[in-house]
Chains A and B, each alone.
Chain A
Amino acid sequence: MKWVRICCLVISLTVIVCTSGAGAQPLPDYDKILQIHLKYQDSGYSVSALEVRYGKAPTLNIITGNLKGVILDTEGKELKSFSIKDPGIAQGDILGPPEGDSLIGYTEMPASGYVTITVPYLQDMQKFSLADTREGSILISADLTAPVAIFCTDYPYDPDCLARISPSKSSVPDSGLNFVLATVFSVSVIIAAGLAIITIRRITNVKMPKKQTVLIVDDEPDIIDLIYIFLNKKGYATLRASSGRECLDILKKQIPDLILLDVRMEPMDGWQTLEQIKKNSASMSIPVLMLTAKRLTAAEAKQYHLCIDDYIEKPFQSAEIYAAVDHILERKQKLKETLVLAKKAGVDKETFCEFARLTRRISVNKRIVDILQVPHQAIPTLSDLDTLDKMSVIDYITVKNRDHEKRAEQLRQMINSSFRSKGFPDFNW
C-alpha cells in the first residue's frame, strides 16, 4: 500500500510539473524509417540500396495491392506486414468533350523502373521480404543487418541502437533494485526537465531573428546599388548614405553592425568621416571597412590603422565584398558568443574586452601590412621616399603587433584558465 502511495506522490508531482510546462516545447524526436530502393525489370526485382535514417513514414494502412511486404525479426517472426501496389502503372485521364461527359483514358506500364518502399523503423528488424500474392512467389528477400549497423555506427546512442546491445553483455547485479532506482531517477529527470522548461519560459521572450545591418556610404549611387544587391542577396539589411555628413546623421538615429565607407567623397572625405565616427562614443565600436579606388598610402595606414577593420580596392568583385563583410561580422558574432561564455566562466569584463581589442588590432594590422607590401601596379615608378615611408610604417606596425601578440597571449591564458575551471573548452582565436 505504501508503495502505491509513493508512486501516486511521484506521479502527481510529475503530472503537475509536466502539465504546467506542456505546450510548444517539442519532445525529442527519434522517429526513423527504413527505405528499400528496388529496381524492377520484366517482373523481376533487385535491391538497389537499403538505408535506415531519421524521418517519418507514410500511412501504410491505407494501401492495398497485389504485393505484400513483410518485416521479420531476428527469430523470423513477423513484425509488420503491408500491401503494396504494382509499381509503375500510370493511370492517365483526359477530359473528353463536355457533351460526351466521359473521360478518355490512357495507361502506361513500363517494363522497368525504380520503386522505393518507406516503412517505419522497428526494433529488432532483421529481414525484409516482398511477395506477389497472386502467384505466391517471393520477389525479393533482403537482410537488414547492414543498414541498421551502419545507422548505429553514426548514432550509437540512439535509444533503438542502445536497445540492440545484448542485455547479457551489460552487467546488471540487481535488476530489481536497479529498476527502482532507474525509475526514480527517470522521474526526477522528468521533473527537473519540467522545472527547467518553466524557468526558461519565465525568463525568455521569444525574439524574431534580427538581420545584420550594413551602412553603405558612397557618393556614387551605382556603387551603392551594386553593393546593396550583393548584400541583399546574402540576407543583410542595408542603410545608404551618399555623403559623410549623411552617414553621421544616420548614426545619430541608428547603429548598424558594419559601415562600408568610401574614401574619396566631397566635401567630407572618408578619413574625415571615419575620425568623426570614432570620436563619438555611440558609434566608435562599429567596425568600418574602407572602400576606395585610391591606394592606401603609408601615411594613411599609420594614421588610421587603429580605426579601420579592412580595406577594399575598387573595382571589386562580389566575392571580395562577401569575404570582408562575412569576416568582420562573423568575428563580431563570435566575440558576442564568447563574451557570454566568459561571463559564465567569471572572466573579468575588462580583461576580455582588452583581449578582444588586441586580437582585432592584430588581425587588422596584418591585413594593412599585406596591403602595403603588395607592389602598386597602377603607379609604375614609386619614389624612393614613398618606398622608405612604406617600409618604416610596415616596421612600425609589425613591432606594435609583436607587443600586441605578447599581451594577447597572456590574456588568452588567463581567460582559458577560467574557462577550464568551468569545464568549457579552450578558445583559440
Chain B
Amino acid sequence: MTWFSGIGITGWILVIILVVSLTYTVSATPGANSVILVVKDARTRENLSGAQIYLDGMYRGDTSLADDEGMLVLQDVSPGTHTVRVTRSGFKEITRKFIYPAESIVEVTISKGFLVSLNPNGPAPHAINIIFYPSSTSYSCIDRAKVSTPLYLTNETRFREDVLNVINHTYLNLDQVASGSDPLPDNYRERFNFYYYYDPSSPADAFSGCAGSIPDSYWNDVTFSDVTVLLYPKYYGIYANLSCQPTGCYESFGPGRNLMKAPADQMTLIKHETGHAIFELIDTYCGTTYYTQNAPYPNVWASLESCRADAQSNHRDPEQCRQIQKKNSLSSASCIRNYWQWDPMPDIMASGYSGKFGAAATQRINYVLSQSGVG
C-alpha cells in the first residue's frame, strides 16, 4: 500500500504504458510482409527448435519450441535482399541471403559443429582457450619416416581419452610442477577452457613443418583459440636414441592462431611446449633454439646483471644466476650462449623427461594466469 500511494499520476501513466506495451509485446499477431523461416538439422532432416534467428543483424527470436515446429515467422520484412543468421548451441553458425518476396518460406539447414567443450560447466569467460586437434600422422621408428595413422580419425573416443589424459596430467596438474615459493592461485584450473575439434574430413598433419599444419577451415571456424594443440599418437616402434625421438614445437601465426604440436604419450614435453605456447617461457637448455629476454617476469635474461637485479628484487639468491651453457666431459664448454638463467635443474624448460618450473618461470606463469581473468 505504501508502495503504490507514493507513485502519483505520472507514475500511474508510466505503469499503464508499461502494461500496454507488455500486452502488445505478448499478444502481437503477425503482420503483413512476413517470411517463414524453417531451420533443419542437416543430418536428420528434422526441424530444429531453439535456433536463434537474426535478420539483417537483429535478433528476431528462436525457432518455435512448441511441437518441434522448428519455425519462426519473421514480421515486417521489406522487399529486397536480406541476410539471415542462424545460431544454435552445438551447431555451426550459418548465414544465408534471400530475396523477399521471391522467397516467403526460407529453409536453412545447419550442421553439427566440430568443436566439443570439455569443461563440465561450460566455458568460462576470459579463460585461456586450449583446443586439441587430432593429427592424422605420426612417425615410424621402424621406417624412419612420417606415417599416416587412422587411430584418431576413425576413433573419436580414443582421441578424447588421450586428450583428457593429457589435460589431467599437464594443465590440471600444474601446481605439482610449479615452484612452492610462489604458489599458483587455488582456482588456476578454472582459468582454462578445454575443447577438442573433431572433423575427420579435414585431417591435420603434425609432421608438415615444425608445428605441423591444420586446414584453414579450422582457423575460419575457431577464431578464439589461445593455443591449438595438434596432438599426435605415440610413435610407431621403439624410441631410439637421437635417431627416433619424439618432438614438440610451437609457432605463432598471430593472436588466435598459435599452434603447438606434441605427442600424446610425453607429458613433460607437453608441459615444456605449453611453457612456450601459453606462458611464453624461453628454453633454458643450451642449443640451437630461440633465446630472448622475455618480459615481464623473465625466466631468461640477456645479461648477468639484469638476472641478478631481478633475483634481488624478487627475494631470490642472485648467486644462482648462471650463463646458459653445456659442458662436455672434458669440462670445457661445448655450448655457450649470451643469456642467463636462474631456475635450478631439472627445469622443465630444459628437460623433456622430468623437472619442475622454477621460481622465475612460476612467477611468469602466475602473471599470465592473472591476465587471463581480465575482461
Contact = CB atoms under 8 A, between A and B. Distances in A.
Interface of A: 1-3, 5-6, 9-10, 25-26, 28-30, 33, 35, 38, 54-64, 82, 84-85, 87-98, 101-108, 113-119, 152, 154-159, 161, 180-181, 184-185, 187-189, 191-193, 195-196, 200-201, 203-204, 207, 209-212, 235, 329-330, 333, 337, 340-341, 422-428
A69 to B, nearest CB: 8
A119 B254 CA distance: 10
Contact of B30 (A82, A188, A422): A422
A1 B6 contact: yes
13 contacts: A26-B52, A26-B89, A87-B253, A88-B253, A91-B210, A91-B249, A95-B266, A108-B251, A189-B21, A192-B26, A209-B41, A210-B44, A235-B43
A92 B287 contact: no
Contacts of A28: 52, 54, 59
Given A94-B247, A118-B256, 12 more contacts: A2-B6, A6-B15, A26-B52, A58-B223, A89-B252, A90-B251, A91-B250, A92-B211, A113-B253, A116-B253, A157-B55, A191-B22
B66 A204 contact: yes
Nearest to A56: B224
A425 B35 contact: yes
A67 to B, nearest CB: 10
B22 A192 contact: yes
Given A102-B351, A154-B83, A235-B44, A55 B224 contact: yes
Contacts of B41: 209
B85 to A, nearest CB: 7
B238 interface: no
A5 B374 CA distance: 36
Contacts, number: 292
A10 B57 contact: no
Contacts of A155: 54, 56-57, 83, 85
Contacts of A207: 68
Contact of A2 (B8, B209, B255, B269): B8
B18 A187 contact: yes
Contact of B372 (A62, A94, A201): A62
A183 to B, nearest CB: 9
Contacts of A114: 253
B108 to A, nearest CB: 13
Nearest to A108: B210
A82 to B, nearest CB: 7
A381 B105 CA distance: 48
A116 B31 CA distance: 45
B56 A57 contact: no
Contacts of A204: 65-66
A210 B44 CA distance: 7
A10 B253 contact: no
Interface in B337-375: 346, 350-354, 368, 371-372, 374
Given A28-B52, A90-B249, A94-B245, A101 B254 contact: no
A187 B69 CA distance: 29
B288 A117 contact: no
A181 B17 contact: yes
B331 to A, nearest CB: 16
Contacts of B22: 188, 191-192
B3 A107 contact: no
A337 to B, nearest CB: 6
Contact of A106 (B19, B73, B289): B289
A424 B54 contact: no
B290 to A, nearest CB: 5
B34 A157 contact: no
A188 B25 contact: yes
B47 interface: yes
B232 interface: no
Given A104-B242, A157-B57, A200 B66 contact: yes
B57 A58 contact: no
Interface stretch (B172-180, B278-286, B308-316): B278-286
Contacts of A181: 17
A54 B93 contact: yes
Contacts of B34: 423-425
A116 B289 contact: no
B46 interface: yes
A232 to B, nearest CB: 12
A91 B289 contact: yes
A2 to B, nearest CB: 5
B38 interface: yes
Contacts of B127: 59
A95 B246 contact: yes
B157 interface: no
Contacts of B287: 102-105
A25 B87 CA distance: 13
B252 A85 contact: yes
A427 B248 CA distance: 60
A54 B85 contact: yes
Contacts of B269: 93, 95
A185 B250 contact: no
Interface string B185-227: 0000000000000000000000001110000000100011110
Contacts of A192: 22, 25-26
B71 interface: yes
A103 B30 contact: no
Interface centre among A82, A88, A103, A108 (most CB of B within 10 A): A103
Contacts of A89: 251-252, 290
Contact of A337 (B69, B83, B246, B350): B69
B240 to A, nearest CB: 10
Given A118-B254, A157-B55, A105 B283 contact: yes
Nearest to B250: A91
Instruction: Name the 3 nearest CB pairs between A and B, nearest first.
Output: A155-B57, A105-B289, A158-B57
B26 A196 contact: yes
A204 B239 CA distance: 57
B1 interface: no
Contact of B351 (A94, A103, A108): A103
Contact of A84 (B66, B95, B254, B272): B254
B230 interface: no
Contact of A116 (B19, B54, B66, B219): B219
A235 B32 CA distance: 37
B14 interface: yes
A82 B256 CA distance: 13
A272 B372 CA distance: 71
Nearest to B45: A212
A97 B240 CA distance: 8
A32 B127 CA distance: 18
B373 to A, nearest CB: 9
A38 B255 CA distance: 12
B336 interface: no
Contact of A98 (B224, B249, B353): B353
B353 A101 contact: yes
Given A62-B368, A192-B25, A88 B47 contact: no
B35 to A, nearest CB: 6
A7 to B, nearest CB: 10
Nearest to B26: A192
A51 B18 CA distance: 41
